[in-house]
Structure 1
């Protein structure tokens, strides 16, 4: 693997959690491994490692964009990532309220519901 993949893997694990990333890679097959490699190298190794925005800021942006796209599975991952990157539940709530105005109330309601599932799961696992 190249340098950007290795850098991306480090960031991806730090943000999303080692267990999740290793499970994703271990469950990859001939059909979808190329996507895992692309995401790790390009998203995490090229973009998340760039100067200019801190991980915390990138998490704020991701929560808003993923809400706008209405992608609850990815949102779950990035709610955890946002918490790992230092965002508070209050800040996450404010992102979703902002999204309600600019992206639509139904998308924001789904994001609140999805985030609450993550908070509940994390509380249970304490």
Structure 2
């Protein structure tokens, strides 16, 4: 069983790197002292089992993820990480903004405005980085 878990972890680590680059490392590291099992669960389950499934590409998966986070509300930290991931896998700023705007009739202005605020912050941070 440990071999299967190690395979899941390796697949998850590779997928997480493909989606988030180095951005996820800080999130996982921040959890290590309070909940050391959670980073492994994120890598094995979310990225090793779910993100590696066939049928959707990474752009589609990140679009779904940022939409799900928007819908939940109070997820600014995770929205920040996954907006970065969405950009990293090839979504444009316009596609991210349009994804959020599309949610207005279904979820309402307050949550969409919060998501747009998170997007604005990520876009501003990225515009200050070399090579982006």
Fold-level similarity (TM above 0.5): yes
Q: 2:100 aligns with which of 87, 96, 102?
A: 96
CA contact (8 A) 2:16 2:47 kept: yes
- TM-score between both structures, scaled by the size of structure 2: 0.88
- TM-score between both structures, scaled by the size of structure 1: 0.92
Which secondary structure does the structure 2 equivalent of 1:49 belong to? coil
The correspondence of residues 70-109 of structure 1 with structure 2, limited to 5 A, is: 70=73, 71-109=75-113
CA-atom RMSD, angstroms? 1.4
What per-residue deviation string (whole Å, max 9, x for no partner) do you get for residues 13-46 of structure 1? 121122x333344444354111111111000000
CA contact (8 A) 2:24 2:81 kept: no
Question: After the TM superposition, which segments of 4 or more aligned residues of structure 1 sit over 2 Å from their partners?
Answer: 20-31
Aligned twin of 1:65: 68
| Length, aligned pairs only | 125
User: Please, which runs of 5 or more residues in structure 2 have no aligned partner?
Assistant: none
CA contact (8 A) 2:69 2:78 kept: yes
